[in-house]
């Protein structure tokens, strides 16, 4: 008997040393994350991941949620819609997460959405902007990023300042790019301006000279550009080589102007960018103190400054998901879905609160994000004069 007790004591001592009792006492609350960590838009996806990790650490430092630490289970969708659907099913079936954040690109999010409805698990959409995401009738979707129509409305008040008479479009050939062309095209037509050339490019394309040549042949004064920062850089450089003279406005908030200055140089000069976070002017954000703390933490971790315009999305997405769990009072998918309708908090972008969007009885949640415009001027990021008014 004594020998058995000694053996048990030794075993317990080993387990204490390994931290097992802590694991027994405090199981984590798991949150699924689906982002493009490899493939053509990997830079953006990894920046979102970095922001999500900051939110996780800040929340855990304050005690987590429901008395437990949160754990992020991160899946790579490889910039591929099929992989996004597979990742969603894996997180739901294998890991039994009560909520997911994802999946950056609209096509990736749309591909994952049937899995959410099939298994009944909510997703906080942090980036995707295709209108169909909230219009298709999926009650498990809660989007904190603006759909292209909402983004276009954010630009509407500045249309007179831009003086656009005719605009061309060059967009990535995805749900995001096509949706952006439709939304901004409708806005221009409504304002009395006309739409010129409309050109698309594959997500992985590196040579856009053919599209730029077609744009150059027209007489438009403005070019709307919708794609990831990597492709924007290439377009600006190739447009400069072809001596294309157009006012350039990027949409979708994924341009990372600091990165464009660094990689495109003079080709980025004078370009305008619609954004949802201003790391250069954190004091101008709805919660300046929170924005400054995030920018400082980002720098402290050695993350590249140019990633901040994407990284904030990861922070706000995880903050929203955790608040849904807190309001629900349990890490249960159905309870979290219901609780997300009651979420009312301040994120880096601004207030996060969901309104119903989509067909009656199957509405998705859509928040109304803050929208900003910056310009590259003299090799630096500046607020345009008409925005400062």
Both 93 and 183 in one domain: the answer is: no
pLDDT band, residue 255 (cuts 50/70/90): confident
Q: Can you say how many angstroms the Cα of residue 221 is from the centroid of all Cα atoms in its chain?
A: 29
Cα 245 to its chain centre, rounded Å, is 30
Which of 120, 119, 122, 102 lies closest to 111 in space, CA to CA?
A: 102
CA pair distance 177, 5, nearest whole angstrom: 68
Q: Are 158 and 187 in contact (CB under 8 A)?
A: no
Looking at the structure, tell me whether residues 271 and 300 fall in a common domain. no
pLDDT digits (tens, 9 = 90+) for 47-66: 999 999 999 999 999 999 99
Question: 105 in a domain, yes or no?
Answer: yes
Total domains present in the chain: 2
Mean pLDDT on 231-242: 97
- Taking the alpha carbons at both ends of the chain, their separation in whole angstroms is 84
Does residue 181 sit in the same domain as residue 330? no
What pTM was computed for the model? 0.89
Q: Which of 251, 275, 299 is the last residue before a domain boundary?
A: 275
* Alpha-helix runs per DSSP H in the chain: 2-18, 20-25, 42-61, 81-89, 106-119, 132-135, 148-156, 159-162, 175-191, 209-216, 229-241, 257-264, 288-300, 308-328, 333-340, 385-388
pLDDT of residue 8 exceeding 90, the answer is no
| Residue 9: pLDDT band with limits 50, 70, 90 | low
Residues 34 and 139 in one domain: yes
Are the C-beta atoms of 309 and 277 separated by less than 8 Å?
A: yes
Domain-embedded: residue 7: no
Same domain, 156 and 259: yes
Structural domain contains residue 295: yes
Residue 173 has pLDDT above 50, yes or no: yes
Instruction: Print the domain residue range for 103.
Output: 28-146+287-366
Could you tell me if 307 and 228 lie in one domain? no
> Is the per-residue pLDDT at 24 higher than 80?
no
Which pLDDT belongs to residue 386? 87
Instruction: Report the chain's mean pLDDT, rounded to a whole number.
Output: 93
State the Cα–Cα distance between residues 326 and 316, nearest whole angstrom. 15
Whether residues 88 and 201 fall in one domain: no
- Whether 103 and 66 map to the same domain: the answer is yes
């Amino acid at each position: 008997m004594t020998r058995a007790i000694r053996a048990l004591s030794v075993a317990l001592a080993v387990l204490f040393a390994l931290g097992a009792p802590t694991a027994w006492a405090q199981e984590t609350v798991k949150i699924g994350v689906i982002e493009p960590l490899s493939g053509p838009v990997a830079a953006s996806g990894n920046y979102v991941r970095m922001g999500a990790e900051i939110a996780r650490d800040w929340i855990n430092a304050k005690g987590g949620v429901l008395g437990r630490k949160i754990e992020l289970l991160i899946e790579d969708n490889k910039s591929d819609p099929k992989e996004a659907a597979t990742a969603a099913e894996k997180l739901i079936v294998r890991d039994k997460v009560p909520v997911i954040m994802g999946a950056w690109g609209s096509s990736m999010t749309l591909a994952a959405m049937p899995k959410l409805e099939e298994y009944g698990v909510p997703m906080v959409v942090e980036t995707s902007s295709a209108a169909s995401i909230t219009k298709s009738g999926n009650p498990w979707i809660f989007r904190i990023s603006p759909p292209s129509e909402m983004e276009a409305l954010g630009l509407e008040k500045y249309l007179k300042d831009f003086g656009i008479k005719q605009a061309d479009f060059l967009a990535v050939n995805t749900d995001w790019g096509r949706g952006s062309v439709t939304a901004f095209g409708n806005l221009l037509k409504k304002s009395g301006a006309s739409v010129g050339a409309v050109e698309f490019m594959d997500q992985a394309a590196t040579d856009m000279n053919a599209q730029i040549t077609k744009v150059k042949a027209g007489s438009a004064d403005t070019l709307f550009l919708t794609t990831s920062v990597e492709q924007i850089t290439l377009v600006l450089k190739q447009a400069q080589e072809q001596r294309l003279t157009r006012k350039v406005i990027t949409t979708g908030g994924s341009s990372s102007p600091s990165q464009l200055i660094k990689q495109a140089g003079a080709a980025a000069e004078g370009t305008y960018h619609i954004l949802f976070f201003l790391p250069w002017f954190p004091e101008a954000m709805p919660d300046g103190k929170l924005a400054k703390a995030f920018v400082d933490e980002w720098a402290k971790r050695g993350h590249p400054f140019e990633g901040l315009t994407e990284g904030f999305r990861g922070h706000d997405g995880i903050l929203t998901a955790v608040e849904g769990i807190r309001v629900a009072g349990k890490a249960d998918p159905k309870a979290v879905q219901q609780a997300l309708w009651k979420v009312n908090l301040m994120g880096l972008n601004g207030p996060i609160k969901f309104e119903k969007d989509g067909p009656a009885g199957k509405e998705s949640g859509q928040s109304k994000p803050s929208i900003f415009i910056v310009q590259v001027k003299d090799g630096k990021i500046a607020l345009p004069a008409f925005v400062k008014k």
